Every structure is written in structure tokens, then in C-alpha cells.
Amino acid sequence: MSTEEQSLTGEQMNSLEKVKKQLKQVFGETTDLAVEPVDVGQYKGLMCYLTTMTNSAFIMEHVVKKLAMSEHKEPISKEETFQQLEISAYSGLSHQTLQNIDDVMFKIVLGNAAIFIEGCAQVLVLDVRTLNSRSIEEPSTQNVVRGPKEGFTESADTNMSLIRRRFNNVKLRFEKYELGYLTHTAVYMAYLDGEVDEEILKQVRETLSSSHIDSLFDSGRIEEMFHSKGKGIQLFPTVYSSERPDAVCSCMINKRIAIIVDGSPFVLIVPTIFPDFFQSPEDEYQWVVIGVFSRWLRYFAFVLSLIVPALYIAVTSYHQELIPSVLLTSIAAQREGIPFPASIEILLMEITFEILREAGTRMPRLVGPTISIVGALVLGEATVQAGVVSNINVIVVSLTAISGFVAPIYTFGSKVRFFRFGLILLSSLIGLYGLVLGCCLLMVQLTRIESFGVPYMSLFSRWDKRRVT
Amino acid sequence: MTPSKVNPVDTFTLQLVFLLSTSIIFGTPSVVPDSWLVGLVAFFPACLFIVLYSAMLSSQHDLGLYPMLEKAWGKIAGKMFVLLYAIYFLYIAARNIRDMIELVMSALLRITPVPILTSLFIMLIAYTALGGIKAIARFASLILCIVLLMLVTLAVFLMFSSSIILEQMLPFLSKGMWPVIQSAFTHSLWFPYGEIIVFLVFQPELGGAKGFRKITLYAFISACIILTISDLLQIWSLGIESKKYSVFALLDAARLINIANIITRMDAVVALIIIFGTLLKCSVFLFACTEGIARIFKVKTGKLTFPLALVAGAFSILVTRNSAEHVTEGLKYVIYTMHIPLQLLVPLLTLILLRIRYRKGAAT
Amino acid sequence: MTILAVFVATVLGLLLMAGLDVLVFKQPFVRVFVDLLPVFPDTSTVFMFAAAFVMAAWVDFKMTDRLKKKFGKQSNKQGSEENRDAKQS
């Protein structure tokens, strides 16, 4: 009987030597693996964890101290010791009891500490993950003047607590997924149960669980995944991402699903509709009129940034009769002596601006002033004075550039900016007609897209009685 | 956030823009002095279309036009009719493209070759039609806002440039009521109101007979009001005589705008209205046509869209040799040979056949 | 089948337009039909019809799939083998 039991336990990997060997086999010679012999009650034990995923003070305070306290005077069996540990000593910590050594290894990688007891089949796995992460700071995008200044950080736990803190509601649900064959990144789906449409929820779950990616370092990857799921070509972004907990929460109230990726301060919102990209969280915290005004201003700026250069080209090179004669003379006077036609002139300056913008975002902070001096003086003033481009051209390009940045979501602006070039091309080929056709194409595209079955842009949807939102 | 269904408001805007699109620019054919009355008068018989079409729909539990034809006329004759309707829709689409191109040529671009303008435009139409009726309906609501905004702007500008002279609509009814009624029955009834038959094709998706009756009635009323206002604007600003001889009356009215020498030449705005409207109307027709042809040849609808759009584009160039022919053909022959049979006679016969055949069927 | 559909639509449409032209110009059908044919003076419509038929043929003969297959063969041998396997099975 006893020999049989011994052989059984021998098979079940719980002799400490064997565990050590196995750990070594799996983890190799990695320096951050701590395998330390400890005393668990009257028995010998082994604790192992990754030092990079926790800090030693935490281990000392919460794990080792309690191991020592769990010593009992009278002898008890291994199983009882184990239960004692599980129920009384570590009741405050999140813990799990596992049997399979592979699962244990995986948990260790995720930042848990495993406690093996000599000869005991079960392994106690404690969540001791304490990661250093950026403290909560003001978000760098989507700035507001009035309103909460907290922003999401790279830690998903922090982000979830930021959301939960705003919803003191039992209906808030977090569902966990692990994405990436190599990285096993935690992805959380947050929603208000009962509010969100079941069909959409099902689709999101399906997409998340059927993803085939090997690594995931930012929510941008998932954004692309959701985006490419839609049928046909989609020129406009169909996923909203935000760094602001208040923006995310106000979206979740409106029956959306938030997706939090560990390691990314950008939380995704699906389904997304077009007006979302013109909404700043600040709009709700102000007098209604100002909010509405600034929202319309944003739409206006969006339209401006799209069509102004194309319109300029179309009107000056094809339809001069549409310009009031006074303005026409002043434009003509300025363009006198300019060697390029209007379309090339505009393209030249637009591309210059794009280069400046790219340089401005990527360069180190310290050389910033250099770029702005070169940009403003050399490209602005000097080109005009040298007679390479006209003054009105600089006005047009800078107006477009500024209005391009009005959209509260940077990704939206950066994607839409490229349509401008298409429109410039069309209008320099066939004038106003081309511009109108280009705009029509964009509008058709806008109304065609659906984000998880929700129409991207539907003007009168709020008057639909069947709609619940 | 809930997944999409076709929104009744979108259906309404779709039909409204469909009715407005080309007729707003060509106005009611101005063969009679008080042309603005024609639109009003035509509205009442037009309501009979609603009655007829919704009776067809409700008798067959909201089947589309094509299955209904096959059911009523049997397999072979039914297929012939389906083909006939598909070609009819294609032909109207081609005519509308031609209308638009004529206007763009006269208002915006005079030297650009027509085939280029047409091919770009039909590509856009095909792309719109590919999105399906749901997307087209959403697009229509966008278009409606733009078109109405532009119309209002136009009216306000006309007012401020003091071009609106109310006396120009006099003499009122100088030849009595009869020419007006005659014109209503020979022109305005069939175009734009009768063209609503194309929506029978999509009706299963748009909400069936019940929705059709109500929504189309509202669309007819709004279209009638808007068309009458635009006709009145044209008469007030141009006068009866010059409206009679102008091909694009709204365009000519827009040319009158002049506010402090800054806002002049608003014809571009009118051109925009017609481009948007025609785009929508043609994509509806093209979509209906592809549905029909795909049904006969058992092909997927999406595969046919681009080739048929190109065919429609080519037709739009071939359809007439000059604009004089275009106008006479459109005002006279198309109405008698195509609109009246296909909008009234065939549906009426179909309805009667359906009633006869399936009352017996229901009894047995 | 798409080609046939497009062809039928084209021919019927041309006949329809010719019929209307008969009414407008009061000329015999054959003459009107010949006038209508897009050969002279403006040949652009020929190209448009041709483009329509090319598109229909493209769809009919599944050119996109074929090109993809060919492209896959050149760039990735394993893929082509998989394809062949799939074909055999």
C-alpha cells in the first residue's frame, strides 16, 4: 500500500528535487527565477517566483512571514497544512490550487509565486504581481481645460480600477482574454451587463477569442483587427480609442464595449460611429451651447481641412468666374510671377507641411525650436519672398493644417488627412466636378461603413422609434 | 448602440431625394404658363400610384416587384417582364446621367470630354449601388440635408439680391385651368411621381405595404411642396416667359444672385444639388436593374453592378444626339411609350391577374 | 453568365433606344439603329462597352482568384503545394 502511494507521489512531481529539475528544464538559466527552500509548517517546501515580476519587500511582507506563522505546535498532515495556508494565511491574496506542473509554470511567468510542499500533489499559487508602472498622469492626447485630469496608464489593473471607480454599479463586467501566442497579453473587455446589445457582444467575443496573432504590445493591433473585420474598404477609422477614463465611461453608458489591453494606455471603444470622433469629453461639462458650438466648429474644421486646398485649385484654375472679381484680381496679382500652376504649388506646400509634422512628432524634444524656426521662417516667409509660392497658398495650406488638428482624436485626423491629397488630385484634373465627386465618394463611404452592424453615420437615427439609444 | 435596421426616416428621405433630384432642376416642364400649379395638381392623381402599388404589395405579402411579376404572369412571361423592367430602369438611369452631364457641361465645365465625366460618375454610382439599399438610404439622408440647405441658401440669396418680384407670376391662369391639368396628367404625374415604382423592388427590405403607404405619402407631400416652392422661386425671379424658354430654370435663377458683388454666380451650388441628387437616383435605378438582371441570369447582384454601370454610362452618351432631341424625347415619347405602360398599365394588369389567380388559389 | 447578362442588357437597351429614335426622327428602324451604333463619330462608348464586357469576363472567369493563385505560386512554394493538395483532395 505504502509503496504504491510512494510510487504515485513520485510520479506526481512533488518531490522537491524533481520540481527543481523541472523548473530548471523549463526556465533554463534565467537569472530572475528565484527558487527558495522554505519551511511550511513541519514540512519542507519550495517557493519559486520571478523576481522581475514582483518585489522582494512584498514577498517578505505577505508571503514569507505568513509561512512562518503557519507553524502549528501539534503535528498535522500535509493536506491540512495546505488547507491552513490556503484558508487562513493567504485568504487576503488572490490564490489558486493547481495540480498540473505546466499550469504552474505558466502562472509563474504571469507573476505568481508557487509554493510546493514536499510530497503534496497540490501546488499553491499566489498572486504576488507588483509591477512598477507609470503613475496616473494627465493624458497627453485629448486634453481638456475643464474636467478630470486622470489618464489611463500602461497597467491594465490600474485602468480597470479607474473605470470601476467611476461606475459604482454591480452591472459592470470585465471579461478576460489572453491574446498572442508568444506574449500572452491580458485583454479585458468591459461592458455594462444588460445594456449592451447581445449581438455586438457576441461578435466582439468571437473576434477576440479567434484572433491569430503572436504578439500584442498595444491596443492599436486590436484596433486594426476590429477594423479589418468589416467588409470592403473602410477609409474611416471604425474604432475609437481614448486615454481618458471619463470619455470611456461615458461611451460605456451609451451601450458600448471598452477593450483594455495590458501595456497600452489607449482603451478601445466599439462600436464606434462617426460623431464620436467629434466629441470631446469636455463638451458635457460645459454650458450646452458652448459644447454644441464647439462640436459644430469641429465638423466645420473637418470639412475645411478636407476641401479647402482642392477648392482653391479648382476655383483658381478652372472656374475663375466663381470668384468675386475683387478677390480674383488680388489672387491674380499675388500669383503673378509664380512659376508653378496652383496644383503643384499646393502639393509642394502640403508635402512640406507633412514632412514638418512628421519631423515635429518624432524628433527629440531638445531640437524642437530648430524645427519651428526653420519651418516658420525658412519655409513660410522665405518661400513667399523668393517668389516660389504665393501668399494665398501659404494661407490655404496653413488653414488646412490647423483645421486638420481640430479633431479631438489624433488617429482620426491623421487618417483623414490623406483624403485631402486625393481630392487635390481630382480637382486639379477635372476641377470642381472632380471635387464634388470626391466628396460624394467620401460621403458614400461614410454611410456605407458599419461598425459591428451599427451604421457608422446615420443622420436621422435618433428619430427612429425602434432604436433604443 | 444597436445593429442597423432600415430606419423609416431614412426610407422617407430616400424617396424624397429620389423624387426631388432631377425634377428640381428641370422643374415641371414649362409648357404652360402657371407651371408651379402643375406640380400641385399632379400630386392628387399621383396618390393613386400609392394606392395601386400598395395594393399590389399587400395582395402578395410584401413580395418585391420581380417575384410578384413572375407570380402573376407565369414563369416565361414573368421573366420577360422582369427583363423589361430592368432595361427600363437602366434606360432611365442613363437618361438621368445624361441630364446631369448636360447641366455640368453648361454650368461648370465646357471643354472636358464627356466620356471622362460620365465614366467617373458611373464608377461612383456603381460604388454607391454596391452598398445595398440600406447604405443608399443613409446616404440619402445626408444628401437631403445638403440639398435643402442649398435650396434655402439660394432662396435667401435671391431675396437679398432683390431678384424676387412677386408680380412676375402674373397673369395668373391666363389660359384657364385646363392646360395646367392637361400638363399635370401628361408630364408631372409620370415624372417624378410615377418613377416611385422602382421602390417596389426593394419594398421587402424597406418595410412592406404598410410602411410604403405611409412613407410614400409623406414623401409625395414633401416633394410636392418643395417642388412647388422651387418652381415659384424660379417664376418670381425669372418671370413666366424666360422660365418657359430656359432649359435649366433653377440654374438661370441662381445666376441672378448678386449680393454686394461678393456673392455672385451661385450656379455652382445648383450644379452640386443636381450632382448629388442624380447620383442617388441613378444608384437606386442601377441597383433595381442589377437585382432584376441578376434574378433572371441567376448571378450575384454585386458582380453585375460595375459592368451594368458602364453600360448605363455608354447608353447615356448614345441615348440622344443633341439636347433638343433629348428634351422632346423625354417630354413626349418616353412618357407615352414607356412611363405610362410600365408605371400604370402593367402594374394594373399584374394586380388584376394576381387578384384573379390567387383568390382562386386561396379558396382551393 | 455575367457576360451573357451584360450582353442581353446592352442589346435590349440599344433596341429600346433605337425604337424611341424611330418615333422621334420618323426614319426606318435599320437606319436609326445604324446611326445609334457607337462606331462613329464618337468612339468612346465602344471603350465603355468593352470595359463592361472585360469586367464581366473578369468576374466570370474568376480572374482575381486565378491571379492570386499564380502570385502565390511564385512567391511561396509551400502555399502552392497546399493548393495542389487541396485540389487533389
pLDDT tens digit sequence for C4-56 = 999 999 999 989 888 888 888 888 888 888 877 766 666 788 888 889 999 89
- Domain range for C55 is 2-64
- A326 and A267, same structural domain? no
- A71 and A121, same structural domain? yes
**Are A255 and B127 a contacting pair at CB < 8 A?**
no
Residue-level pLDDT at B31? 63
Confidence category of residue B3, pLDDT binned at 50, 70, 90:
low
Do C and A share at least 3 CB pairs under 8 Å?
no
Residue-level pLDDT at C73? 53
- Whether B2 maps to a domain, the answer reads no
More confident residue, A463 or A356: A356
Q: Find chain A residues with C-beta within 8 A of B265's C-beta.
A: 321-322
Confidence category of residue A462, pLDDT binned at 50, 70, 90:
low
Angstrom distance (rounded) from CA A196 to CA A469? 10
Domain count, chain A: 3
**Are A444 and B139 a contacting pair at CB < 8 A?**
yes
Is pLDDT above 70 for B102? yes
Tell me the torsion sign for CA atoms A144, A149, A152, A157. negative
Q: Among the listed ranges A51-65, A81-95, A427-441, B176-190, which one has the minimum average pLDDT value?
A: A81-95
Residue-level pLDDT at A11? 47
- A451 and A316, same structural domain? yes
Q: Find chain B residues with C-beta within 8 A of A253's C-beta.
A: none
Interface residue B117 vs chain A (CB under 8 A): yes
Q: Find chain A residues with C-beta within 8 A of B135's C-beta.
A: 444, 447-448
B166-204 b/e with 16+ CB inside 10 Å = b?
eebbeeeeeeeeebbbebbebbbbbbbbbbbbbbbbbbe
- Cβ contact A408:A237 at 8 Å: no
Confidence category of residue B27, pLDDT binned at 50, 70, 90:
low
Average pLDDT value for residue range A44-49: 82
**Are B307 and C36 a contacting pair at CB < 8 A?**
no
Which chain B residue is nearest to residue C24, measuring alpha carbons? Answer: B329
Average pLDDT value for residue range A1-30: 64
- A313 and A412, same structural domain? yes
Report residue B250 CA to chain centroid gap: 17
Residue-level pLDDT at A6? 43
Q: Find chain A residues with C-beta within 8 A of B286's C-beta.
A: none
Residue-level pLDDT at A3? 42
- Whether A466 maps to a domain, the answer reads no
**Are B2 and A431 a contacting pair at CB < 8 A?**
no
List the single residue in B13, B268, B279 with the smallest CB-CB distance to A440.
Answer: B279
Reported as a single tens digit per residue, the pLDDT across B196-215 is 888 888 887 777 777 788 88
Give the whole-number percent of chain A exceeding pLDDT 90: 6
Residue-level pLDDT at B310? 92
More confident residue, A4 or A407: A407
Q: Find chain B residues with C-beta within 8 A of A443's C-beta.
A: 139, 142-143
Report helix angle B267-297 to B301-318, nearest 10.
130
- A262 and A320, same structural domain? no
Helix, strand, coil percentages in chain A from 3-state DSSP, rounded to 5: 55, 15, 30
Which chain B residue is nearest to residue A469, measuring alpha carbons? Answer: B1
- Domain range for B331 is 8-346
**Are B142 and A196 a contacting pair at CB < 8 A?**
no
- Whether A376 maps to a domain, the answer reads yes
- A358 and A221, same structural domain? no
- Substitution target in B316, B318, B320, B331 with the highest count of C β-carbons within 10 Å is B318
- Whether A140 maps to a domain, the answer reads no
Is pLDDT above 80 for B89? yes
Residue-level pLDDT at A188? 92
Q: Find chain A residues with C-beta within 8 A of B124's C-beta.
A: 437, 440-441, 444
Helix, strand, coil percentages in chain C from 3-state DSSP, rounded to 5: 85, 0, 15
Residue-level pLDDT at B125? 93
Please give the mean pLDDT across all residues of chain B. Answer: 83
Average pLDDT value for residue range A94-123: 80
Q: CATH code at B45?
A: 1.20.1740.10
Our CA-based measurement puts residue A237 at a distance from the nearest CA of chain B, in whole angstroms, of 17
Residue-level pLDDT at C87? 38
- Whether C69 maps to a domain, the answer reads no
- A301 and A431, same structural domain? yes
- Whether C72 maps to a domain, the answer reads no
Residue-level pLDDT at B87? 93
- Cβ contact A246:A285 at 8 Å: no
Residue B271 class from Cβ within 10 Å (0-12 exposed, 13-18 middle, 19+ buried)? Answer: buried
Average pLDDT value for residue range B86-94: 92
Average pLDDT value for residue range C69-81: 52
Q: Which residues contact A72 (CB under 8 A, 6 or more apart)?
A: A41, A42, A81, A84
Confidence category of residue B29, pLDDT binned at 50, 70, 90:
low
Which chain B residue is nearest to residue A463, measuring alpha carbons? Answer: B9
Is pLDDT above 70 for B361? no
- A442 and A313, same structural domain? yes
pTM of the predicted structure, to 2 decimals: 0.85
Domain count, chain B: 1
- Substitution target in A328, A460, A466 with the highest count of B β-carbons within 10 Å is A460
Reported as a single tens digit per residue, the pLDDT across B37-58 is 887 888 888 888 888 888 888 8
Chain C neighbours, 3+ Cβ pairs < 8 A = B
Is pLDDT above 80 for A9? no
Interface residue A322 vs chain B (CB under 8 A): yes
Residue that is written with C-alpha cell 440647405 in the block: B149
Average pLDDT value for residue range B112-117: 85
- Whether B199 maps to a domain, the answer reads yes
Average pLDDT value for residue range A28-52: 81
Is pLDDT above 70 for B190? yes
Confidence category of residue B264, pLDDT binned at 50, 70, 90:
confident
DSSP type of residue B246: -
Highest mean pLDDT among A120-129, A273-282, B18-27: A273-282
Q: Find chain A residues with C-beta within 8 A of B104's C-beta.
A: 433
**Are C9 and B311 a contacting pair at CB < 8 A?**
yes
Interface residue B121 vs chain A (CB under 8 A): yes
Residue-level pLDDT at A8? 43
| Grid coordinates given for B237 | 425671379
Reported as a single tens digit per residue, the pLDDT across A301-338 is 888 888 899 999 988 888 887 788 888 888 888 888 88
Residue-level pLDDT at B312? 92
List the single residue in B138, B263, B275 with the smallest CB-CB distance to A447.
Answer: B138
- Whether C9 maps to a domain, the answer reads yes
- Domain range for A408 is 291-455
List the single residue in B9, B127, B143 with the smallest CB-CB distance to A460.
Answer: B9
The answer for B74, left when phi > 0, alpha when psi is -120 to 50, beta otherwise, is left
- Substitution target in A203, A316, A444 with the highest count of B β-carbons within 10 Å is A444
Tell me the sheet residues that pair with A177: A187
Residue-level pLDDT at B86? 93
- Whether B291 maps to a domain, the answer reads yes
Residue-level pLDDT at B290? 92
Reported as a single tens digit per residue, the pLDDT across A414-454 is 777 788 889 999 998 888 888 989 999 999 988 888 888 78
Q: Find chain C residues with C-beta within 8 A of B328's C-beta.
A: 24
Domain count, chain C: 1
List the single residue in B307, B319, B329 with the smallest CB-CB distance to C55.
Answer: B307
Which chain B residue is nearest to residue C15, measuring alpha carbons? Answer: B87
More confident residue, A68 or B59: B59
B-proximal residues of A, 396-435, CB under 8 Å = 430-434
- A368 and A323, same structural domain? yes
- Whether B146 maps to a domain, the answer reads yes
Report helix angle B132-160 to B199-206, nearest 10.
110
- Whether C87 maps to a domain, the answer reads no
Residue-level pLDDT at A182? 85
| Grid coordinates given for A177 | 482574454
- Whether A58 maps to a domain, the answer reads yes
Reported as a single tens digit per residue, the pLDDT across B127-154 is 999 888 888 988 998 889 988 888 898 8
Angstrom distance (rounded) from CA C16 to CA B71? 25
Is pLDDT above 50 for A1? no
**Are A467 and B10 a contacting pair at CB < 8 A?**
no
Residue-level pLDDT at B2? 56
Residue-level pLDDT at A342? 86
Closest to A117 (Cα-Cα) out of A89, A147, A144: A89
Q: How far is CA B283 from CA A147, B194, B286, in A?
A: 46, 17, 5
Please give the mean pLDDT across all residues of chain A. Answer: 81
Q: Find chain A residues with C-beta within 8 A of B275's C-beta.
A: 433, 436-437, 440
Is pLDDT above 80 for B159? yes
Is pLDDT above 60 for B323? yes
Confidence category of residue C85, pLDDT binned at 50, 70, 90:
very low
Residue-level pLDDT at A10? 44
Residue-level pLDDT at C76? 44
Confidence category of residue B5, pLDDT binned at 50, 70, 90:
low
Q: Among the listed ranges A57-61, A390-394, A448-452, which one has the minimum average pLDDT value?
A: A57-61
Highest mean pLDDT among A228-237, A246-255, A323-332, B84-93: B84-93
- Whether A277 maps to a domain, the answer reads no
Give the whole-number percent of chain B exceeding pLDDT 70: 95
Do B and C share at least 3 CB pairs under 8 Å?
yes
- Whether C30 maps to a domain, the answer reads yes
ipTM: 0.89
**Are A430 and B104 a contacting pair at CB < 8 A?**
no
Q: Find chain A residues with C-beta within 8 A of B272's C-beta.
A: 436
- A211 and A102, same structural domain? no
Angstrom distance (rounded) from CA B359 to CA B362? 5
Residue-level pLDDT at A119? 75
Is pLDDT above 60 for A235? yes
Average pLDDT value for residue range A381-408: 83
Tell me the sheet residues that pair with A257: A270
Report helix angle C44-60 to C63-75, nearest 10.
70
Is pLDDT above 50 for A74? yes
